[in-house]
Chains A and B, each alone.
Chain A
Amino acid sequence: MEVLQLLISGVSQGCVYGLIALGFVLIYKATEMVNFAQGDIMMLAAYVAITFVNLWGWSFWWALPATVMTMAVVGMLLERLLLRPMIGEPHFAVLMLTIGLGFVLRAVAGAIWSATPQRLNAPYVGSVAQIGELVIGYESIAIVIGTVLLCTLLWLFFRFTRLGVAMQAASQNQLAAFYVGIPVKRIFSLVWAISAGIAAVAGMLTAPALMVDPNTGFIGIKAFAAAIVGGFGSLPGAILGGLLVGVVEQFAGLYLPPGFSDMSAYVLLLVMLMLRPQGLFATMQKKKV
């Protein structure tokens, strides 16, 4: 029973990692840029939601689309102002830039919303579902359901809409996509918008379960490990990697000495990089020349 309980809390935590990892992977797949600030964008989204719900008194369900839209605009602006001048620069430069961006976002959040931890008032907060001996918080259930819904939505989007197919084309070969008339630059902006939107959903799902403070974004680093475990560049891999990291972390916290819980994600990452550097779901091979 204890194992099952741990498994469930691991899965719900893993879904959060998975959603952030999804944002990383989406941007990497489409633009070959690594957005290290994804976790901080999620933190920002959580604060935006807290402003809407806690401060302005909007209903949670109205705040959800509003937050997603706000963050999408923020993501688009970030791409337009900061990342577009970096097209063609080495990956390392972009990585550093987004690390810098993360620091700035953290300070901005601290300046606007102060550093004291806050919790988002979702309607389902505090209630628990009891199944036999299992006790599951509604927050965890919401995270899992939200993740499943979002993934289905994204899958449908990439599979069946013109825009989604255009994005796939741009991610496969930018030059070819440009030649057949796909506006690659605008696609990049939209990819950033979608990725920030996913971060918004992740933030709104996490914020009721977890206290939010400006340093919440650091879980982005763990999510990053999850993305690589899953094979950087594979969308299902990102979710699976997130789940794996979440579950392993829970079990390490119980069965191993203190400290291993925080380390487990990175140990998993190193083991994965040594055994199977391309990750669980390999989608890309290294360029040879």
Chain B
Amino acid sequence: MRFIRKTQYSQDIDLVKHRGHLIWYGLLLVIVLSGPLWLDRYLLGELAQVFIFAIAGIGLMLLVGYTGLVSLGHAAFLALGAYTHAYLLNLGVPLPVALSTAALFTALIGGLVGIPALRMTGIYLAVATLAFAVIVEQVLVHWTSVTGGFSGMAVPKPEMFGWSLSSAPAFYFLCFIILIGCLVLALNLLRSPAGRAMIAVRDSETSAESMGINLARTKMLAFALSAGFTGLAGGLFAHRMTYLAPDAFTIITSIQLLLMVVVGGVGSLHGVIYGAIFIGLLPQVIASFRDLAPPAVGQIPGLEPAIFGLILIVVLIYEPLGIYGRWMKIRLYFEEFPFYRRATYKRQKSFLRTERLH
């Protein structure tokens, strides 16, 4: 058990709480940076995919985990980012400019979507974002002069300042550096007044409002930032796909993104990373399972989403805090070794929390 003696209030929002953090995260950084030395090209590509998911996950986590607004339409932001990025690259715009424009444009659209969302909560909001996603998908299919419709849109190879970034290690580093940037940005955001306001809105809108937080502004900011991060991930995703078609950004994608946030652990940035590893690598596991299992089981149509669904159900019923929550419990067990009490995290059985006025 570690005790930190705090002598200043500012220590409450320190990024690095104690030296252990520095050592462990430094070690992790070294391992990930040395990845290209001991991983083959295929695995590097898969890890780059995990990093991209994690960037999108940071965006969704800000919205779902920290502001308490549910979006079933984040695939639309991913698509907007991907198509904007690819379109600009095709016009000859350099990669850093195209990528940041894609993120900014998506953030702008996200903010606009956020405006009607201010008057809605819970389920209404989820469905409104779903409707938005369907509309974006239809636009992508039918606006063929820009998006190429179903025949798709080629994405130029990534290159920056004359270097080609299309080799697996280079793309791996590109994604990793952007992920680190996004993580630092999100961490700093969450200890700034804006981020604290988001958390307050999540915990209770009424008390947040009475503390002087501008609900509308906070929610819109959360939407814009969330969309921006997801759009950035979309730009990288475009390179990973090399060929964009609307069927990569359906409601299934939105749900996959939500799954990442829920399985990883709602309300923690660690959870985003765990969730991204989970949904990035699970399809590989399922694919190898398909080969091993008897054909009658392996050939079931829709097996992959079904396994996703099953895992979602199990996690929601038995471990609502996700992988990160489970890890916290395991760590606490060892920290307090002989004294761990199961009841520490026991969920209180409560009556239904009603949102209605009677």
Contacts and interface: CB of A to CB of B under 8 A. Distances in A.
B206 A288 contact: yes
A99 B317 CA distance: 14
B122 A91 contact: yes
| Residue among A82, A101, A259 having the largest count of chain B Cβ atoms under 10 Å | A259
Contacts of B308: 100, 103
Q: How large is the interface on B (under 10, 10 to 19, 20 to 34, 35 or more residues)?
A: 35 or more
Interface stretch (A136-144, A148-156, A203-211, A279-287): A279-287
Given A91-B123, A97-B312, A106 B317 contact: no
B255 interface: yes
A204 B126 CA distance: 30
Contact of B251 (A92, A108, A221): A221
B302 A103 contact: yes
Interface in A130-180: 172-175
A286 B258 CA distance: 26
A266 B137 CA distance: 12
Contacts of B317: 82, 85-86, 97
Given A89-B320, A228-B127, A232-B123, A95 B70 contact: yes
A175 B262 CA distance: 30
Interface stretch (B113-121, B223-231, B276-284): B113-121
A87 B357 contact: no
Given A32-B355, A85-B317, A277-B124, A104 B130 contact: no
Contact of A259 (B132, B138, B316, B348): B138
A107 B130 contact: no
Nearest to A91: B122
B128 interface: yes
Contacts of A181: none
Nearest to B296: A111
A272 to B, nearest CB: 10
A251 B310 CA distance: 39
B313 A262 contact: no
B353 A90 contact: yes
A93 interface: yes
A175 B354 CA distance: 11
A88 B353 contact: yes
Contact of B313 (A95, A104, A114, A224): A104
A110 interface: yes
Contacts of B130: 221, 266
Contacts of A97: 312-313, 316-317
Contact of B131 (A110, A172, A258, A270): A270
Given A103-B305, A221-B251, A262 B357 contact: no
B141 interface: yes
B302 A88 contact: no
A273 interface: yes
Interface in A95-121: 95-97, 99-104, 106-108, 110-111, 114-115
B160 interface: no
Contact of B134 (A107, A266, A274): A266
Contact of B355 (A91, A103, A225): A91
A102 B259 CA distance: 14
Nearest to A266: B131
B6 interface: no
| Residue among A103, A224, A262 having the largest count of chain B Cβ atoms under 10 Å | A103
A269 interface: yes
12 contacts: A87-B349, A87-B351, A97-B317, A107-B302, A115-B302, A174-B354, A228-B124, A262-B134, A266-B131, A270-B131, A273-B116, A286-B356
Interface of B: 64, 70, 116, 119-124, 126-128, 130-132, 134-135, 138-139, 141-142, 206, 251, 255, 258-259, 262, 300-303, 305-306, 308-313, 316-317, 320, 348-358
Interface of A: 31-32, 34, 82, 85-93, 95-97, 99-104, 106-108, 110-111, 114-115, 172-175, 214, 221, 224-225, 228, 232, 257-260, 262-263, 266-267, 269-270, 273-274, 277, 284-289
Given A96-B316, A270-B128, 4 more contacts: A32-B356, A92-B126, A103-B302, A110-B300
